[in-house]
Structure 1
Amino acid sequence: MPIIANDYTWEQTENELYIRVPLKGAKASGSHVLCTERYLKVNFPPFLFEVFLFAPIDDNKSSAKIGNGVILFNLHKKEPAVWDALTLANMGKEEMQKIRENAVAKEQEKAQQETKARAERKRENEKYSLEVTMKIEDAERKRIEDVKHEERKKATEELEKWKEKERIQELNEKIQKKQMRRENESNKAVHTRSSEHCSTATSVQNDSPVNVKQKEKILPPTRSTGCIQIQFTPRVFPTALRESRVAEEEEWLHKQAEARRAINVVDPGLQDLTDEEKNPEWLKDKGNKLFAAGDILAAVNALNLAIQLNNKIPELYLNRSACHLKLRNLHKTIEDSSKALELLTPPVQGNASARIKAHLRRGTAFCELELYVEGLQDYETALKIDPTNQKVKSDAEKIRRIIQSSLLDNE
């Protein structure tokens, strides 16, 4: 049960209000400050400082500093004025409770907005990083294409030079053959003139049809025509495989595929799951086993994925609330328990056990946040569902005594 701290000091101007609260030896790291327009609360166990302000303040411009054994509040008044007192006198208990509830609700809403803002900023940063990475990859691909183009151009020029060299060499060989043929013809003519005086019989024998046929050049048969089928391996890049850098191209394609999956509207992580991992019931059982083994964070991850696949199963939120309660994520425990109760409709005997668990976990989280009235309401609701539960009845009686003691101390 907290001890109410009353030894504080305060000063004021028309626009500002200064409050000094001593920590009384408590650790500054364990202090929790809650500040709204009409309500100010500091919890530094075992002490509690609570003030219902005389007039509203601007909590967005106000600030609190913790250090050197004290907490200093610099509160900005909404309307310039000199207050007669720090707190509002003759305030009823119902009005005080209503102000407390409004303050807690506003604090929770503010925390949710900050969480959403952080998540949005994270998504924007990730998207920007992906865009920058894709631009860098595109620039690298362009550089590779330019290098390939230069290499192709260089190879083409060398090929043309080689062809030209071969053509000139072939032309020189033809010229040489032609000259040799002319020389042979000249030598043959001289030999013919020297042999004109040979005998007639020998001439006739040499000029016989048989010898003429033997002198005729025998040519090889003409080649038959045909068609050769050529098939090319399909490739993403237009260059030939022998001119490409396979490792660099495969790495670029892999990174492009990863970037497209990440920037896609559909969650890319769900595309790589197995059929078993896409079953919310399997994920729920997996989360229960991990929770029983003490790996709470892994259980939360399994239930997060199951909820992403199907957000209409109340048991998923109920089990995740137990994980958050174990991790002392009290606000998330309240949120998941409330969502589970919202889905556990209509209230029937079949879901009574689940509703009791949701109310007890939410009530426990409220009590851990020292919101005993809200916690007592959940415990009493659980008792209405199961009036024979002695353990719940005993815990509710303890919470009721804490609330009564706190009210007596305030009086």
Structure 2
Amino acid sequence: MPIMVKDFTWQQTEKEIYISVPVKGAKACQSNVLCTEDYIKVNFPPFLFELFPLLPIDVDKSSAKIGNGVILFTLHKQEPSIWDTLSNANMDKDAMQKVREKAIARVQEKAKEDAEARAIRKRENEKYSLEVMMKIDEEERKRIETIKEEERWKASEELERFKEQRTEEEQRKIQKEQQRREEEKRKNAINKSKNANNQKPHLQASEKPASEKILPPTRKCCSIQIQFTPRVFPTAVRESRLAEEEEWLQKQAAARRAIITESLEIQDLKEEEKNPEWLKDKANKLFAVGDYLAAVDALNLGIRINDKIPGLYLNRSACHLKLRNLHKTIDDASKALELLTPPVPDNAAARLKAYVRRGTAFCELELYVQGLEDYEAALKIDPANPTLKSDAQKIRCVIQGSISD
């Protein structure tokens, strides 16, 4: 039984009330302080302090400080006035119990709202982070595109200059060649005139002079075939990330090897071992004799063969609960509840087991609010179950702080 604290002191002004509650050994990390408009509770086993204020207080402006074995309350009145007494002495036990239940429900609702608000803030922060990252990526992409465009412009400009230089060189060569040919023609004409004067009468006019040069034929045009090394990632070398690409390829190869190995292992099984129902019955026998690890192995194989059977996840959650793998118990029970849809009378028993096992795992992890929600869901399926009623009441008492954990 808890020890009720009666030797507290209090003072008041028109707007505030100051209460000093001596609790031996109280620390900020251990005390459980509950404060609402019409109910205040301090639970520090074995000490318990309860107060039902005469008039409502403003919770948002009120505060509590814990230190040196004393809890100091600074309570703000909703309406400035001087109270004759601190608490309402006309309340009976039923009224007090209703106030307690309302206060606990209000605290739970506020905790749920705070959790939802935190989740919303988290999503907004993630969304903002994603937008910032997308903006940074877009700016980086634009910067890279600008650099590429500048490089292309420089390359085009250099190519144009090269073409112009080549054209000028070719023109100079052509001019030199024309000049050389004209010079040769002029020399040949002079030589012919000289030879014509000195030739003998029997010399044939059709004979060509020995000084005339014979040019080789023009080379034929052809195309050269070039074969480039194939790349998995068609990225320019200056922009590629070889280390990340190699790591990605290694992970893909490992995943393919794992899939092939798993399929080969399943092919090597006997016919009855390929049946998930047979594996489920085998796991039940192993569970009955206390070999929980072997039962988990059998159920794992059954899930690898067919992952759409809720009974496999449900039985594996029971094995994990025995092995104290509480997070795995919660995951398997949640997966079983996902597969047990829609809720119909035929799957009521399975849903009841899933809620009870998940609620038990939550309570073992000291997440009593979530555990109570699962037990209440189980009570909706079987309202007349005395064991469920008793366990749910115990969880409520732990939440309310009337008994120690």
- TM (norm. structure 1) is 0.68
The residue correspondences of 1:11-410 to structure 2 (distance < 5 A) are: 11-196=11-196, 198=199, 202-203=203-204, 206=207, 242=236, 245-247=239-241, 284=314, 287-301=317-331, 314=351, 315-342=353-380, 344=381, 347=382, 358-370=388-400
Gaps of 5+ in 2: 249-303, 344-350
Shift of 1:104: 0.9
- Partners of 2:38 and 2:56 within 8 A in 1: yes
C-alpha distance 307-142 of structure 1, shift in aligned 2 (>3 A): farther
Percentage of identical aligned residues: 41
Residues 222 and 119 from structure 1, CA distance in 2 versus in 1: closer, same or farther, beyond 3 angstroms? closer
Letter in 1 for 2:7: D
In structure 2, distance between residues paired with 1:86 and 1:206: 144
1:148/1:244 contact within 8 Å kept: no
Confirm or deny: 8 A CA contact 1:52 1:87 kept in the other structure.
yes
Letter in 2 for 1:246: S
Judged with a 3 Å threshold, the aligned counterparts in structure 2 of structure 1 residues 24 and 220 are, in CA distance, closer, same or farther, namely closer
Give 1:111 deviation, angstroms.
0.9
CA drift at 1:339: 3.2
Aligned partners of 1:221, 1:150: CA distance in 2, in Å? 39
Structure 1 residues 193 and 289: alpha-carbon distance in aligned structure 2, compared to 1, 3 A threshold: farther
Q: Which moved more, 1:331-340 or 1:183-192?
A: 331-340
SS of residue paired to 1:89: coil
CA distance in 2, matches of 1:131, 1:304: 32
Shift of 1:5: 1.0
Q: Name the CA distance, whole Å, in 2 between partners of 1:145 and 1:281.
A: 56
Alpha-carbon offset, residue 45 of structure 1: 0.8
The letter for the 1-side match of 2:372 is I
Amino acid at match of 1:297: H
Kept in 1, the 8 Å contact 2:28–2:66? The answer is yes
d(CA) in 2 for partners of 1:164 and 1:115? 72
The answer to whether the Cα contact below 8 Å between 1:16 and 1:77 also exists between their aligned partners in 2 is yes
1 CA distance for matches of 2:309 and 2:122? 28
Shift of residue 63, structure 1, vs aligned partner = 1.5
Q: Cα gap change, 1:36/1:29 in structure 2, threshold over 3 Å: closer, same or farther?
A: same
Aligned to 2:280: none
Distance 2:308 2:175 in 1: 80
Give the match for residue 281 of structure 2: none
**Offset, 1:39:** 1.4
Deviation, 1:26, is 3.8
State the superposition RMSD in angstroms. Answer: 4.0
Q: For the Cα contact (< 8 Å) 1:28–1:69, is it kept in 2?
A: no
Offset of residue 328 of structure 1? 0.8
State the alpha-carbon separation in 1 of the partners of residues 134 and 308 from structure 2. 30
Cα distance in 1, alignment partners of residues 203 and 337 from structure 2:
114
Distance 1:359 1:200 in 2: 144
For 1:155-208, what per-residue CA distance to the aligned partner results, in whole angstroms no more than 9, with x for missing partners?
A: 22222222122111111111111111111111221222233364565426649x
Alignment-derived partner of residue 261 in structure 2: none
| Matched-pair contact (CA < 8 Å) for 2:376–2:392 | yes
Instruction: Tell me the distance in 2 between the aligned counterparts of 1:143 and 1:180.
Output: 55
- Residue aligned with 2:172, SS: helix
Contact 2:25/2:68, CA 8 A, preserved across alignment? no
> Would the aligned equivalents of 2:329 and 2:357 in 1 still touch at CA under 8 Å?
no
Distance in 2, matches of 1:118 and 1:188, equals: 102
**Which TM-score applies when normalising by structure 2?**
0.68
Is the alpha carbon distance of 1:157 and 1:303 closer, same or farther for their aligned partners in structure 2, counting shifts above 3 Å?
A: farther
Tell me the SS of whatever aligns to 2:324. Answer: coil
CA deviation map 1:373-409 (0-9, x unaligned): xxxxxxxxxxxxxxxxxxxxxxxxxx9xx9xxxxxxx
CA contact (8 A) 2:317 2:332 kept: yes
Change (3 A) 1:162 1:358: farther
For the residue of structure 2 that corresponds to 1:86, the secondary structure is coil
Shift in Å, 1:364: 2.7
Residues 42 and 357 of structure 1: CA distance in aligned 2, closer, same or farther (over 3 Å): same
Q: Give the equivalent residue in structure 2 for 1:405.
A: none
Q: Distance in 2 between matches of 1:242 and 1:60?
A: 61
Q: Distance in 1 between matches of 2:29 and 2:395?
A: 20
